[in-house]
Amino acid sequence: MSDLILFWHRRDLRISDNIGLAAARKRSQKVVGVFCLDPNILERDDVAPARMVYMIGSLQSLKERYQQAGSQLLILHDNPTQAIPALAAALNAKAVFWNWDVEPYSKERDRIVTETLKTKGIEVQNNWDQLLHSPEDIFTGSNKPYTVYTPFWRNWSSKPKTEPVEELKDAENLTPAEQEAAHQSGVVELPTAKDLGFVWDNELVTQPGEAAAQEKLEEFCDSHLGEYKEQRNFPAVHGTSQLSAALKFGVIGIRTVWKATETALENSRSDEEQSSIRGWQQELAWREFYQHAMYWFPELAEGAFRELLQNFPYENNEEDFQAWCEGRTGYPIVDAAMRQMNEIGWMHNRCRMIVANFLTKDLLIDPRKGEKYFMQKLYDWDLSANNGGWQWSASSGMDPKPVRIFNPATQAQKFDPDGDYIREWVPELRSVDTEYLVTGKIPALESEAVGYPAPIVDHNKRQRQYKERYQQQKEQF
């Protein structure tokens, strides 16, 4: 009889192109999957219902994939530091395999699980899977982690990338006695998101599960990738992949994604197409840059990276914050973006930058409040990418440019010149002239008539205030 290996899924909800799972299958035919619904995560106040719907849907699909491969996915709903070792012991597993993660919580949890398994005489094997290059692979010339993206990209992109690995097949399942032992040890049926208290009735921009993510990748590569560079900044255009949730939960393998870009490069017909494909590869590298940063500098999760911004005198006006959250700041591009996120759990990248910049530099509100609100809403929320984006927008992170201030009107004029995005998400402004929408200068009588608020702050005034405070901070250092 083969040795039983338990494969613990976390941010790799797939059986295809999964390095740790392929390694487990290589070692033994008897590979059984497990996912632990962790109350330490589910009971936090920053869990977006849309994210849970995507995660549970992807777990449902993963269950089916395991069955097709001859095995099964077990579900636990308990603290993994205790539940994973208990299940492994109950099943008499030879080993538990899982893929590493970069986040501080995961690292500490995994350390405890590893120790407990080892004291029970159960082997542990880990792999890097969610990145093309692990944080231990990419260093500066002086052997330090990178804190600046451009040289990171140069080094990262020059390294050869591995091919996708084989998907799980011909696996062996548990015996009836082992099934019984699994249930005795706390295995439960997969609940719905509603069972867990998360209600979300809107459509997700990408359906859960491996097949949907693969389809989305193919559709993007066939129809949009060649024009990514021209289209990626226009929120009214479907010009980006919308693969962020699939990448966050590992519903698609990063090697599979990379291979698709290489195939697209081989088939490209012009310099423009090639430049677009390279542009998209650079976004995949931003994802890795921020994950490496989180791995090496876990303090990023707590607040500003730059000391200068650590005790910045933010105003934190609660009414302004609520207006920002609800999309009623009186700045049409900001409100459209916030309403898009509130409604569909996803926001275009250009708009994430605009609203984050507006919250911190126009409303003078601590970026951590915005970062948390994004966690509560985004179905693709990822600690490293979200934190990286917020630190960049708040000028508190690793970005070498000291202060970057966006003017919402200039942003709207450039990236939503016809006001299509604004009209889509702020329906009361549909009949208002484009000129007013993109400059934000809607005549008071007109905005009153359609029930749209006047701007809650004056951009020029607030920009000056922000700069003054920044200057004062600088003088203290």
Binding site for ligand FAD (CB under 6 A): 232, 240-244, 247-248, 283-284, 286-287, 290, 349, 352-353, 356, 374, 378, 380-382, 385-386, 388-390, 393
Nearest distance in Å: CB 181, ligand FAD: 38
Nearest distance in Å: CB 63, ligand FAD: 25
Return d(Cα 397, Cα 92) in angstroms, integer: 47
| Residue with Cβ nearer ligand FAD (63 or 238) | 238
Other beta carbons less than 10 A from residue 330's beta carbon = 16
| Residue with Cβ nearer ligand FAD (132 or 193) | 132
Q: Which residues contact 86 (CB under 8 A, 6 or more apart)?
A: 185, 186
Angle at 322 between CA 330 and CA 320, to 5 degrees: 60
| Residue with Cβ nearer ligand FAD (332 or 397) | 397
Q: Which amino acid is at 41?
A: I
- The CA-to-CA distance between both ends of the chain, in Å, stands at 67
| Residue with Cβ nearer ligand FAD (30 or 361) | 361
Q: Which amino acid is at 357?
A: N
Q: 3-state class of 140 per DSSP?
A: coil
| Residue with Cβ nearer ligand FAD (66 or 425) | 425
Nearest distance in Å: CB 331, ligand FAD: 16
Q: Which residues contact 72 (CB under 8 A, 6 or more apart)?
A: 32, 33, 63, 66, 173, 174
Instruction: Could you list the beta-strand ranges (E) of 280-380.
Output: none
* Residue with smallest beta-carbon separation from ligand FAD: 389
Nearest distance in Å: CB 228, ligand FAD: 7
Nearest distance in Å: CB 153, ligand FAD: 12
Nearest distance in Å: CB 32, ligand FAD: 29
| Residue with Cβ nearer ligand FAD (31 or 293) | 293
Return d(Cα 103, Cα 109) in angstroms, integer: 10
Other beta carbons less than 10 A from residue 476's beta carbon = 7
